[in-house]
Amino acid sequence: MKNKPIIIIAGDPDSIFIEILSKTLKTKKFKSPIVLICNKSVFINQFNIKNSITKLNILNPKDLNAKILFPDQINLINVNLKNFTKQNKLKYLKESFEIGLNLIKKNFSYKLINGPINKEFFLNKRFPGLTEYIAHSFKVKKIGMLIFNKKLAVSPVTTHLPIKLVSKKITKSLIIEKIFLINEFYKKNFNFIPKIAVTGLNPHCESILKFNEDKSIVSKAIDYAKKRKINVEGPYSGDTIFLKLNRIKFDVIVGMYHDQVLSPIKTLYEFDAINITMGLPFLRISPDHGPNRKMFGKNKSNPLSLIRSLEFLDKK
Q: What band does 2 get if pLDDT is binned at 50, 70 and 90?
A: low
Q: 254 or 58: whose pLDDT is higher?
A: 254
pLDDT digits (tens, 9 = 90+) for 193-223: 999 999 999 999 988 888 999 999 999 999 9
Peptide bond between residue 128 and the one before it cis (omega within 30 degrees of 0)? no
Q: What is the pTM of this model?
A: 0.91
> Is the same domain home to 36 and 106?
yes
Whether residue 265 sits in one domain with residue 117: no
Whether 10 and 117 share a structural domain:
yes
38: enclosing H helix or E strand: strand 34-38
Tally of structural domains, the chain: 2
Which has the closest alpha carbon to 97: 83, 73, 116, 84?
116
What is the Cβ-side half-sphere exposure of residue 88, based on CA atoms within 13 angstroms? 10
In degrees rounded to 5, what are phi and psi of residue 302?
A: -85, 125
Q: Does 211 lie in the same domain as 262?
A: yes
89 and 104 belong to one structural domain: yes
Q: pLDDT, tens digit, for every residue of 157-200?
A: 998 888 999 999 999 999 999 999 999 999 999 999 999 999 99
Confidence of residue 62 (pLDDT cuts 50, 70, 90): confident
Q: 313: closest CA among 130, 22, 111?
A: 111
Query: In the 8-state DSSP scheme, what is residue 108?
Result: S
pLDDT of 127 over the 90 cut: no
Are 228 and 206 in a shared domain? Answer: yes
How do residues 76-108 score in pLDDT, each as one tens digit? 999 998 887 888 888 899 999 999 999 999 999
- Is the CB of residue 214 less than 8 Å from the CB of residue 205? yes
Check whether residue 101 and residue 79 sit in a common domain.
yes
Q: Is the pLDDT at 65 greater than 80, yes or no?
A: no
Question: Are both 117 and 33 inside the same structural domain?
Answer: yes
Residue 286, CB-side half-sphere exposure with 13 Å CA sphere:
21
- 11: nearest Cα among 166, 87, 119, 86: 119
C-alpha distances out from residue 35 to 56, 69, 73, 277, Å: 10, 8, 9, 20
CA angle 21, 23, 27 (to 5 degrees): 115
CATH code where residue 255 lies: 3.40.718.10
Task: Verify that 130 and 230 share a domain, yes or no.
Answer: no
Taking CB atoms within 8 Å and a gap of at least 24, the contacts of 263-268 are: 264/154, 265/147, 265/149, 265/152, 265/153, 265/154, 268/149, 268/152, 268/242
User: Exposed, middle or buried: residue 100 (CB in 10 Å: 0-12, 13-18, 19+)?
Assistant: buried
Range of the domain at 16: 1-140+280-316
One domain for residues 40 and 74: yes
Could you give the CA distance from residue 4 to residue 9 in angstroms, rounded to a whole number?
16
Domain identity same for 56 and 102: yes
Residue 67 has pLDDT above 70, yes or no: no
Instruction: Evaluate if residue 50 carries a pLDDT over 50.
Output: no
Least confidently predicted of 13-27, 188-202, 260-274, 283-297: 283-297
Residue among 196, 189, 185, 118 nearest 145 (CA): 185
Q: How far is CA 169 from the centre of its chain?
A: 22
Q: Are residues 218 and 293 in the same domain?
A: no
pLDDT band at 1 (very low <50, low <70, confident <90, very high): very low
Instruction: Return d(Cα 214, Cα 30) in angstroms, integer.
Output: 45
